[in-house]
Amino acid sequence: MSTIYNQILQAKAKNEKLLAILLDPDKIDLDNIQKLIEKINQSPATHVFVGGSLVENNILDELVLEIKKNCELPILLFPGNPSQISDKADAILFLSLISGRNSDYLIEHQVNAVPILNRTNLEVISTGYILIESGEKTAVERVSKTKPLPRNNQEYILQTAQAGEMLGKKLIYLEAGSGAKFSVSKEIITLVSQNIKIPLIVGGGIRSLLEIENAHNHGADLVVIGTAFENNLNFFNQKG
Ligand code: 1GP
């Protein structure tokens, strides 16, 4: 059976670009879930990510089950902490916040997640998560209590991504933060994508179809769109 990670690798090899819609359980109204799923099914999305920095409500399992019932896309957890694990999903981005120096988000939460993960069949995909300065303080910065990497220090951003690759991460995720003022710049995407071999995810602050296309064209293998779709379910019907 082909794993989700293998499918991502195959897509990268064929230069087929991927797109994930990120759903934050805290912002979803389960009463309107059918409409949301219909819109996902009509969109060009190839993956659904589920998660958020906080996730304070308890609808995670229910949300994942509802999506599974009516949508065939793979569902990947994108957790802010070990409480956000659902065995109903297909895979988990096992994130380590390698841009930060808070050991909780580098290794502690991951250690605590292991007993939970061992009771699931989730495919675990090791991901080097890199937070990049984006104009304003974002939820990731607040919750993780880490500083984002300065956007003008491209060499250090690349070094961080390459360290992640050398540590054996299977994906690198360049994150500007949800609702970021500035998304990750094309220069950073180009530099990192040209100098790592593993697939590159880019997300945070992407607000238009053109921005998705630009991120793809500059080397992102998978682009994540959260807030813009959340705020406008017709996001993918717009031009440009
Ligand atoms: C946040 O990268 C994701 O973790 C998506 O960000 O909500 O700004 O699209 P947006």
For residue 239, tell me if it sits in a domain: no
Containing 118, the helix (H) or strand (E) segment is none
Q: Give residue 226 CA to ligand 1 midpoint distance, Å.
A: 5
Residue 238 lies in a domain: no
State if residue 95 touches ligand 1 by the CB under 6 angstroms criterion. no
Residue 119 has pLDDT above 80, yes or no: yes
| Residue 52 lies inside a defined structural domain of this protein | yes
Under the banding of pLDDT at 50, 70 and 90, the label for residue 240 is low
Give the rounded percent of residues in the chain with a pLDDT score beyond 90. 91
Within-domain flag for 126: yes
80 lines ligand 1 (CB under 6 A): no
Judge if the beta carbon of residue 51 lies within 6 A of ligand 1: no
Assign 58 a pLDDT band (cuts: 50, 70, 90).
Answer: confident
Kindly state whether residue 131 falls inside one of the protein's structural domains. yes
* Alpha-carbon gap, residue 132 to 167, rounded angstroms: 20
For ligand 1, the distance from its centroid to the CA atom of residue 177, given in whole angstroms, is 6
Q: What share of the chain is helix, strand, coil (3-state, %, to 5)?
A: 40, 20, 40
* pLDDT of 1 over the 70 cut: no
> Is the CB–ligand 1 distance for residue 205 below 6 Å?
yes
| Domain enclosing residue 222, as ranges | 4-231
Per-residue pLDDT band for 122 (boundaries 50, 70, 90) equals very high
Q: With respect to residue 236, please indicate whether it lies within any of the assigned structural domains.
A: no
Atom 1 (ligand 1): residue with closest C-alpha?
Answer: 178
Which tens digit of pLDDT belongs to each residue from 200-215? Answer: 999 999 999 999 999 9
Number of domains, the chain = 1
Instruction: Give the position, in ligand 1's atom list, of the atom nearest the Cα of 52.
Output: 4
Domain membership of residue 122 (yes or no) is yes
Quickly list DSSP for 10-31: HHHHTT--EEEEEE-GGG--GG
| pTM: predicted TM-score of the whole model, two decimal places | 0.97
Q: Which atom of ligand 1 is nearest to the CA of 179?
A: 8
CATH number at residue 199: 3.20.20.390
Residues 6+ apart with CB under 8 A from 77: 49, 50, 51, 84, 85, 86, 89, 91, 92, 93, 122
Question: Does any domain span residue 14?
Answer: yes
One-letter amino acid for residue 34 of the chain: Q
